[in-house]
Homo-oligomer: A and B are copies of this chain.
Amino acid sequence: MPKSPERCEEIRTDMRNKILHKSILYFAKNGFSGTKISDLSKYIGIGQGTIYVYFESKDKLFQEIHQMINREKDISQIKLLANLPIPAKQKIHKLTKEVLRQLEEDDLFAGMIALNTQILLEQNGGNSAYGTTYQSELYKYMTKIIEQGQKEGSIVSGNSLKLADYYWGVVYLYSLKRLFTTKYEIINSEDLERTVLKQ
* Chain A residues near B (Cβ < 8 Å): 2, 30-34, 47, 121-122, 124-129, 156, 158-159, 162-163, 166, 169-170, 172-174, 176-177, 180-185, 187-188, 190-191, 194-195, 198-199
Contact = CB atoms under 8 A, between A and B. Distances in A.
Pairs of residues from A and B, 9 with the lowest C-beta to C-beta distance, nearest first: A126-B182, A33-B33, A126-B181, A121-B180, A33-B34, A169-B173, A129-B183, A129-B181, A31-B31
Q: State how many copies of this chain the complex holds.
A: 4
10 contacts: A31-B31, A32-B34, A124-B181, A126-B183, A127-B183, A129-B184, A156-B190, A169-B173, A169-B174, A170-B173
Question: DSSP majority for the A interface?
Answer: loop
A176 B33 contact: no
Contacts of A162: 185
B127 A182 contact: yes
Given A2-B47, A31-B31, A31-B33, A166 B180 contact: no
A32 B32 CA distance: 11
Contacts of A34: 31-34
Contacts of A170: 169-170, 173
Nearest to A177: B129
